[in-house]
Structure formats: structure tokens, C-alpha cells
Amino acid sequence: MSWHLVGKESHEPTKSVAVGDIHIGGSEIVVVAGPCAVESESQIIETARTVRAMGASLLRGGAYKPRSSPYSFQGLAEDGLKLLHQAKEITGLAIVTEVMDPRDIELVARYADLLQVGSRNMQNFPLLRELGRCGRPILLKRGLAATIEEWLLAAEHVMAQGNDQIILCERGVRTFEPMTRNTLDLAAVSLVKQISHLPVIVDPSHATGRWRLIQPMSLAAVAAGADGLMIEVHPAPDHALSDGPQSLTPASFHRLMQSLGPVARAVGRDLPGEKRE
Amino acid sequence: MSWHLVGKESHEPTKSVAVGDIHIGGSEIVVVAGPCAVESESQIIETARTVRAMGASLLRGGAYKPRSSPYSFQGLAEDGLKLLHQAKEITGLAIVTEVMDPRDIELVARYADLLQVGSRNMQNFPLLRELGRCGRPILLKRGLAATIEEWLLAAEHVMAQGNDQIILCERGVRTFEPMTRNTLDLAAVSLVKQISHLPVIVDPSHATGRWRLIQPMSLAAVAAGADGLMIEVHPAPDHALSDGPQSLTPASFHRLMQSLGPVARAVGRDLPGEKRE
Amino acid sequence: MSWHLVGKESHEPTKSVAVGDIHIGGSEIVVVAGPCAVESESQIIETARTVRAMGASLLRGGAYKPRSSPYSFQGLAEDGLKLLHQAKEITGLAIVTEVMDPRDIELVARYADLLQVGSRNMQNFPLLRELGRCGRPILLKRGLAATIEEWLLAAEHVMAQGNDQIILCERGVRTFEPMTRNTLDLAAVSLVKQISHLPVIVDPSHATGRWRLIQPMSLAAVAAGADGLMIEVHPAPDHALSDGPQSLTPASFHRLMQSLGPVARAVGRDLPGEKRE
Amino acid sequence: MSWHLVGKESHEPTKSVAVGDIHIGGSEIVVVAGPCAVESESQIIETARTVRAMGASLLRGGAYKPRSSPYSFQGLAEDGLKLLHQAKEITGLAIVTEVMDPRDIELVARYADLLQVGSRNMQNFPLLRELGRCGRPILLKRGLAATIEEWLLAAEHVMAQGNDQIILCERGVRTFEPMTRNTLDLAAVSLVKQISHLPVIVDPSHATGRWRLIQPMSLAAVAAGADGLMIEVHPAPDHALSDGPQSLTPASFHRLMQSLGPVARAVGRDLPGEKRE
């Protein structure tokens, strides 16, 4: 293989990555939840409280949004980061948010616990190199049509700069199928777990684009060996500024969280809440 | 939607399909196992006994093999069907085998309990029409690059002739990813279960082409809502005339079967062996 | 490579295939034109006369139509074949039409000069084998998501039965792009011409699904080395029973034919009409 | 449609973009040629002289190379830019080179006439926005799996910042086909020319990855309506530090340039050399 740092021998376990006091890649299935974009104080605080109560460990929310159109909502920028920080102080949830510009890394790292590289930037090499020197854990989403090898090599770009705190995120790839937004590639999750020591989480929200598929794909991801999930939750999906059709309501998210435990235990994992009890 | 017969209201359950005394689409997860191709009496009988003992309910094995090259092994034809029948008499396993030619349907139906339409023939409409009149249940694999809509419409072609005993099989679709043979589309399984009353099983062997991915993808398929699995098992994969790299040994198949029960129960299903006990 | 009969050394020329007194694969660019489906006597006769006058050498028209839905128009069957034959008697155009069922080959061969295998049947091996023994030239369309190797091996299936009169047809492959029906792969045309002695024609109508792209893609195909074109023409596309949006009107087809000659000559080819003058 | 600035009415012509004294998008077919990466003074100067003599109008060469692996040659950075500038002073060729990092734009713009956004950065929105304010024309390559709509919207991101000097470049998209590096989508070129006023050029080198396909795909691109070509030429492809198998030798490039004129004239265009005469 063409990588040196991200690989592992088949008998070696996944090396977990710490985000605050959460460990991703250990025995626990970790859930990241929150809205696509931070829209307002009430929206993000309310969502944070809700997903915290239901068992999420990290809060997601975009302050800088990569949008195909320049006329779509682009995020609240630093104001959004501040709202995320406020939600963290209130709920104790660690914060995950996307950074798109190498010049923003220092600012984003001031507010966020886990810095996300989005699909469109998986091969933005200047960004990856800077993140390799930022001292924060990185969430590296798979590119829209990236091969597994390219994905691991993107992680290698970060690690080659000295940062080995990387979590991968499968979020579906582009195919000809029009009934789902992307095609979720769970075999990639299992394969990466076999050939790399990096933890892998799954984003079924972007992968499918349909809220009714989030729960079955979450269960399937856990059964496939994923170390965690990243779920879009919005207090009122019909009024979301982006990604409404793929966002869960709090009630649907609750049902999802209730269903996760049995599957996690069936494959020898558990959920954080359950271990704490 | 453009179909009339294969659809369902969201509150309606899957309608199970009987193959011999096996019901596919009910509460039990049904496992079809066996070699890619019937190669010899000892190979198919030995495999049948092995997979029967480990919990499989149906025996698969190709007598007519669709092969990209005319110089590859094309199957034993009627001799292969006779060996499958012999394996059934010895083990009691129901038989699944592919039919490619409308002129062979009558012959194949004499020996097989479930007639398989392979991916390359998903839109072979003369074949589908004849199968709609053959009086046997049909296993309809998704085409190499068929949309979900085309797959359901292919089933509609069969049903429109009067045969509603159809089981769908997801087996991966073509993408740019070279590290797996195809890309397994488990979201399609969940989606089809939501919009159609037809049972759906999953073939992780053809979907991934790598034996080490069969177990995690089988567990993921069950978690996603699949009604069953179709697994390639060969007594000596290294000597198989086709599909060796994706075939499980009996020992690996045993491990897979042991791991299925907990995941099935975690999603409210069970395995036939367990119910019988 | 895995083929024996369809290949060639790089210095060897394409071997032309005769269809009636038309030679496909020689210096002339041959145009096949006509409606998607034979709908009525007036429709097919009128179209035949029109395309004949504008320079087409062969008439296309489906009598057996492979349709995703069982409720779409399936073609006029033998009545359609008879109408094609009538159009041939009136205009002298050779006839190309699709055969989907091995049991129909004898009948179709009675009326048609060139038997077409459609994309959905590219790997219908019983059909290919029978066509290998039918004594008629074969037009083999590339499958919806067939690799170049699989396409050539499908031709090898025919040739292995003794029929070396095969013309390949590129008609686009499936991709994620929604603005065209398929993605026309002209590099495949050039590559196949370099590694195989078989003639290759291009169907820009099915490849693009948009009539305004037919002319530029036809010119590009000729520049890429294609030996001919297959164009959908309908006297009234808005009223066509199938494929209206991708059909040219007679006026558009005339403009296309006028534009072909200069490009053909620019790459050292010519059109049949021009040679006759 | 979702864009406002890049679109056009169907009767409006392409608006040409000036790069130095070259106009791209007018009646002349403009050729950009040069090596994948600037490797040394002798390599780039020799190549520049060669391609200039044969009719190229612009010199390409990477100083900052996006490479999947962090261990591959990453380019000579500013030293490479200086060598490109030296080549420009000697030959008069305008310079095209890639910029990957918004922080490098000012530096690159000091040496280059046309700033290239590579496929991996087509949706690097901070980069696009900065390029919208840089005062230089932009060459925007289509993303590895970008839809036509996303490609035009990426251009809209640049234009929305005030820079309307944008040239698009089709370079193939990802598909399942392994015999070519990508699948060249010439229908996208024709379609974009019909719905947008932006000039479009084609890069057959990256699209196919095979030097023997460069000439036929170049001719096809011109026939499809492309406004120019971008061709990899290396004095010794077997010793290139990157992209050797898809680079033309000077001799092959000469043959390509000789063949372009007739096809250009066949579609009502011409080459710059010919107009000068």
C-alpha cells in the first residue's frame, strides 16, 4: 500500500482518538448530533440540550457552510462559533464544526474541540497540511467520489505533519441512483477498520438525504463496525435553512438512540450512557 | 410512482414468500448458502451438509453461469441441476439456482425451488415475462447499475404476468471504487422495504468480492432490515472454479452464523434454528 | 487481454462488415436513422423516405421494445417487422432492429438485415450464442454500465460461435450526471478501434437524451474515429410513443447530415452520398 | 436554473476571455501545452520552445501540484513559478498554472497570466472567492465527480465577487471504467456552450490517461464545440516526475497540431497560426 502512517497490521486494534473526555474508536459507540448549520442562539442551544439528554456526546453545527450556490445561506461565521461555544458551556457537549480555509483554522480551533474537513475539501492539501500542525483532532470526511485509497492518503497528508488524532467519516459517494442523495458505502467502513488504525464514524444524514433512512442506516453502520455516528437533528426540520429533508426531529432522534444500544451490544460495543449507569 | 403491484402503503408489512416450507420476509432471517457454481457431486453434497448443519435454510449453486468470457467455466447445466436435486434429497435444503434462458425455465423449475434472475438479466424482459407464468417463486437480483425504480419495475414485469412470489436481492452496484468488487447499497434495502411489500435479501459475497467483508456486511444487512442473506461458501475457496476470493470457508461461515443471532434479535428478528429450539 | 477473436495488432485496420451492400468500417461514415419504435405504416414509411433522401444508409425502428415499465408501449412485434420490410422495399434502405429473445431470432432475421442487441441484453449470453449461429450481422450495443473489456468479451461470445460480422455501438454509460440521459464515452470508441478490428458506431440519441446535443456529439463521434452513427428521427417528436425529447425532426436531421461531410473529410473519411457523386 | 451570471440565452454567443493577447472563446481554437509539473529549467524552456514552434499559444506547468500521496513530488513552488516566467520571456507564451491556496494567489498572479483551479478544488469556496477578487482570468477545471450544475455554480461563486474572466475546462469524470483514467464528457462541453456564455476548453490528457487517445479526443473536442485544448507534453515522458503515460512527445504533439486545423475549419473555426498567415 502507498501509506505508511495510517495503516495497521490486521491483528492490531483501532487507536482511539480523544475529543475532550470522549474517546472515539474504543468500545463505546459515540454519537455526534446537531443541525446542519448554526442558525440562531435558541436553535443551537435547544438542539444541544435535546441531543445531550438523549445520549449524544458531541454537538455538530456549521458556522462556515460549503454551499454549491453562492446565493445559499453560507453560515454565521465567527458568530456561529460563539454560539457553539455557548452551547458547550451550557451542556458540556464537545463541539465539532467544519473549517474550509487554512486562514480560519486558528479561529475555529479556539471554539471547537474537533475540526471537520468536509467532503469537498478532502483533497484540499494546503488545508490538510495546516491541520497537521494545529494541535486539534481532525474529522476527515470522505470526498464525494474519493476512493478508499485517496481517503486514507488524505489522512496521511495530515499525519505526515505530525497530527495523528484523525477520525474518518464515511458520508456516501456519488452514483447514478437518484432516490438517495448519495450511496452509503458501509463496506468501506469495514475495510478501512481492517487496514487502518484510524477510527471511522458514519454520517447517514448526508449519505441518504432522507430522514426515514437514518435509523436503519445508523444501525447498519454500527453492525458494520463503525465507531460512531453523525446525525443531523433540527428542532423544526421543515424550517431549517439547509438540509431539512434529511434532519431528524428530536422525537425521531430519541427513537434512533433507543434502538442503538441493542445493536451495539450485539456486536460487542456499548453506548456511553449505558456504561455510565 | 410508476408501479402498481409491487408497492405498499408505509404502514403495511412485507408479504412473505414461501419457498418450500421456508418463509422469506417474515420474522426470521433466512440464509441461502453454497458455492458460486456446482462443480462436482462431492463439492455440492459436502457444502450442502455443512451449511445445513450451520443453519442455512436454502442451498445456492449455479448450473448455468453467466460469465463475461466465453472461455470461463459455464456451469454443468442439467447435470448441475441433478446434483442440486440430489443435495436437496440428502439435506432437505430448498434449492436456489439461476436461469438465464426462457427456454430453460421448465427444466430448471423441475429441480429448483426458487428461480434466480441474475444481475445481467434484470431487464431481460422475455425472461421476466416467462417467469411470471412459471408458478415458482423468483429471486430477482438488482442489475449492475440498475436504479431502485428500475429494479422494482423489473419485479412489476413478473407480477404483471400473475406471479407475485418475488424476492429481491441487493448485490452491490457499480462505482469508481476499485478496492471492492461492487458497492453494497444497503440504503436501497431499507428504502425498498419502506415502499414495497416484497422481501429483500442481500448478497454480500458479490457485493464486496472480499471474504473478510462478508461477516460485517451480513450483520449490517440484517441491521438495515434485510430479510435474509445469500452467502458463497466453498469447501476449498482456493480451488474454486469461480469466485474463490469472495467465498467463505466452512469455518468462516460458522463464525458468521454464530454472530447473526444477536444482531437479528437486536432488531426484533430471529433465526430459524433459534425459533425451532 | 482476455479475448482472442475480437482483438487486433495496432497496425491492422478495422475489418468492415457488410450489411446488404453497405460496408460499415471502411472509409465511409454510415448513418442509421429512424424512429425509436415502429408506430404505424405512415410513420415508418414517411421517416424512411425522409432519411433516405437526406443520406441515411440504414433504417432503424424497434418492433420489440425493452421498456423499464410493463405498462409502456412494448412495440408492434411481427407487425412492426412487416412494416420495416415494407419500408425497405420502398426505399431500398437496409433494416436494423432489436431482438431480445433467442426464440425470436429466426423471425426477426427474416425481415432485418442487421440484428441489434440492446444495452440491457449485452450480457444475455443465451441470446449472444444464438446470434453467433444466425448467419446475420449483429449490432452489439454497450451495456448501461459495461466496461470496455466486458463489451469486447460479449462480442467474443458471438464470434466464438462462428459469426464474426459484428458492429459495436457506443450509446453512453451511467454516471451521476443528471443533465444528460447517459454519459457518452467517446474515448471508448477510439480505444476499441485501437485494440479491436470490429467497426464501432455511436448512438448520440440515447447517450444524451437531448436533441440539441445530437449534432455536436455526432460530429465529435466522427472526429473520434467512429465508423457510423445511429440517430433517432421522428416526423413529429412531440407525438412519439417513446424517446420524443431525443428525436430529431427531419429538418434537424438534414442540418446534421449537411454538417457531417466536412468533419468526415477532415479525418480522412467520406460519406456514401459523396462517393457516389 | 440556479445561476444568474454564468448563463446565457440560446442565441447569444460565447464571450471570449483575454489571456495576454490571446482570446479564448472566439473563432480560434487555442492550445495550452506543457508538462504536468515544472521539473527543471531545461525541461520547461525546451518544452516551451517546442510547443511554441508547433502552434501552442499558452504554456502550462505545475509549480504547486495536488498529489494524492504526501510522498509524491509536490512541485517546485516559487522556483517553479520563476522558471515559468523565464519560459514566457524567452518564448512569449502566456502562462497557466495552478493555485491551491488562497494565500498563494498574490504570488502566483505575479508570474502567471491565467490562474488554474484544479479538479480537487472546484468547490474550495474560499479559494474561489479570493480568485473572484484577484484581477486575473481563471481556468476552472470540472471536479472529479461534479455535476454540470455544480461546475457552473462554482464559476458563479467567482463571478459573484466581480471577476467574469472565467474559462471552464472539462477533464473527465469518475466512472467504473478502468481502461481510461477518467471518462471524458464531451456532451457536457456542448451543453455548457449552449447554456452559458463562458468559454470551455478540454484536457484530454487527464481525461484519458493514455497518450494514444489524446489526438482522437482532441479532434472530438473541437468537433463538439470546445474553444481550446490543454495538452500534456514532455520532452521525455518516460522520465517525467508525474503523468508520464499520458504525456505526448514533441513528435506526437506535432502530429496532433497538424491534424487539428482541418477539423477546426470543418466546424467553422480556425487555428491562431493559420489566421496569422
Mean pLDDT, contiguous 10-residue spans, chain B (277 residues) = 88 95 97 97 97 98 96 95 98 98 97 98 98 97 98 98 98 98 98 98 98 98 98 93 91 98 98 62
Nearest chain D residue (CA) to B144: D176
Using CB atoms, list chains with 3+ pairs below 8 Å to chain B: A, C, D
pLDDT reported for residue A2:
85
Pairing of strands A114-117, A138-141: parallel
Residues of D in contact with A149 (CB under 8 A): 68
pLDDT reported for residue B274:
56
- The answer to whether the pTM exceeds 0.95 is yes
d(Cα B57, Cα B231) in Å, to the nearest integer?
12
H or E element: which one contains A42? Answer: helix A41-54
pLDDT band at A11 (very low <50, low <70, confident <90, very high): confident
**C89 pLDDT above the threshold of 50:** yes
b/e per residue, C162-194, with b = 16+ CB within 10 A?
Answer: ebbbbbbbbbbbbbbbebbbbbbbbbbbbbbbe
Backbone angles phi, psi at D18, to 5 degrees: -90, 130
Rg (CA), chain D: 17
Backbone angles phi, psi at B274, to 5 degrees: -70, -35
pLDDT reported for residue D276:
41
How much is the average pLDDT of A237-244? 88
Cell of C99: 431482438
Encode chain D in three state secondary structure: CCCCCCECCCCCCCCCEEECCEEECCCECEEEEECCECCCHHHHHHHHHHHHHHCCCEEECECCCCCCCCCCCCCCCHHHHHHHHHHHHHHCCEEEEECCCHHHHHHHHHHCCEEEECHHHCCCHHHHHHHCCCCCCEEEECCCCCCHHHHHHHHHHHHCCCCCCEEEEECCECCCCCCCCCECCHHHHHHHHHHECCCEEECHHHHHCCHHHHHHHHHHHHHHCCCEEEEEECCCHHHCCCCHHHCECHHHHHHHHHHHHHHHHHCCCECHHHHHC
pLDDT reported for residue A145:
97
Burial of C149 (0-12, 13-18, 19+ CB in 10 A): middle
Q: Which tens digits make up the pLDDT trace of A33-47?
A: 999 999 999 999 999
Pairing of strands D138-141, C228-232: unpaired
pLDDT band at C123 (very low <50, low <70, confident <90, very high): very high
d(Cα C107, Cα B126) in Å, to the nearest integer?
15
- Structural contact between residues C100 and C64, judged by C-beta atoms closer than 8 angstroms: yes
The count of C-alpha atoms lying within 13 angstroms of the C-alpha of C139, restricted to the half-sphere facing its C-beta, is 31
Residues of B in contact with C69 (CB under 8 A): 2-3, 153, 156
b/e per residue, D122-161, with b = 16+ CB within 10 A?
Answer: bbbbbbbbbbbebebbbbbbbbbbbbbbbbbbbbbbbbbb
d(Cα A53, Cα D82) in Å, to the nearest integer?
59
Residues of A in contact with B176 (CB under 8 A): 145, 147, 173
- Structural contact between residues C189 and C157, judged by C-beta atoms closer than 8 angstroms: no
Nearest chain D residue (CA) to A72: D2
Beta strands in chain C (DSSP E): 17-19, 22-24, 30-34, 58-60, 94-98, 114-117, 138-141, 166-170, 200-202, 228-232
pLDDT reported for residue A82:
98
How much is the average pLDDT of A84-99? 98
Q: Which of A69, A145, A157 sits opposite D2 (nearest CB)?
A: A69
Backbone angles phi, psi at B37, to 5 degrees: -125, 145
**C274 pLDDT above the threshold of 60:** no
d(Cα A43, Cα A40) in Å, to the nearest integer?
5
Backbone angles phi, psi at C93, to 5 degrees: -70, 140
Using CB atoms, list chains with 3+ pairs below 8 Å to chain C: A, B, D
CB pair distance less than 8 Å for C68 and B100 = no
Q: Which tens digits make up the pLDDT trace of B193-250?
A: 999 999 999 999 999 999 999 999 999 999 999 999 999 999 999 998 888 899 999 9
Give the ipTM. 0.97
**A203 pLDDT above the threshold of 80:** yes
What's the maximum distance between 2 C-alpha atoms anywhere in chain C?
A: 50
pLDDT reported for residue D18:
98
B245: distance to nearest CA of chain A, Å?
A: 15
A251: distance to nearest CA of chain B, Å?
A: 19
Give me the residue label for grid cell 446434483: B83
CB pair distance less than 8 Å for B124 and C125 = no
Give SS3 for B109: helix
Nearest chain B residue (CA) to A211: B191
CB pair distance less than 8 Å for B145 and A176 = yes
Q: In chain A, what percentage of residues exceed pLDDT 70?
A: 98
d(Cα D121, Cα D144) in Å, to the nearest integer?
10
Report which residue type is found at B237. Answer: P
Angstrom CA distances, C234 to C44, C72, C181, C249, C259, stand at 9, 18, 19, 6, 19
pLDDT reported for residue B1:
64
Q: Which of D179, D184, D194 sits opposite C186 (nearest CB)?
A: D184
Pairing of strands D114-117, D94-98: parallel
The count of C-alpha atoms lying within 13 angstroms of the C-alpha of B19, restricted to the half-sphere facing its C-beta, is 29
Q: Which of D213, D214, D218, D255 to mutate to test the interface with C (most CBs of C within 10 A)?
A: D213
**A1 pLDDT above the threshold of 90:** no
Residues of chain D with pLDDT under 70: 1, 273-277
Report which residue type is found at B55. Answer: G
- Structural contact between residues C242 and C72, judged by C-beta atoms closer than 8 angstroms: yes
Q: Which tens digits make up the pLDDT trace of B39-55?
A: 999 999 999 999 999 99
- Structural contact between residues D147 and A176, judged by C-beta atoms closer than 8 angstroms: no
Q: Which tens digits make up the pLDDT trace of C3-42?
A: 999 999 888 999 999 999 999 999 999 999 999 999 999 9
- Structural contact between residues D82 and D47, judged by C-beta atoms closer than 8 angstroms: no
- Structural contact between residues C263 and D223, judged by C-beta atoms closer than 8 angstroms: yes
**Pick from A64, A11, A37, A17: which is nearest to A228 by CA?**
A17
pLDDT band at C1 (very low <50, low <70, confident <90, very high): low
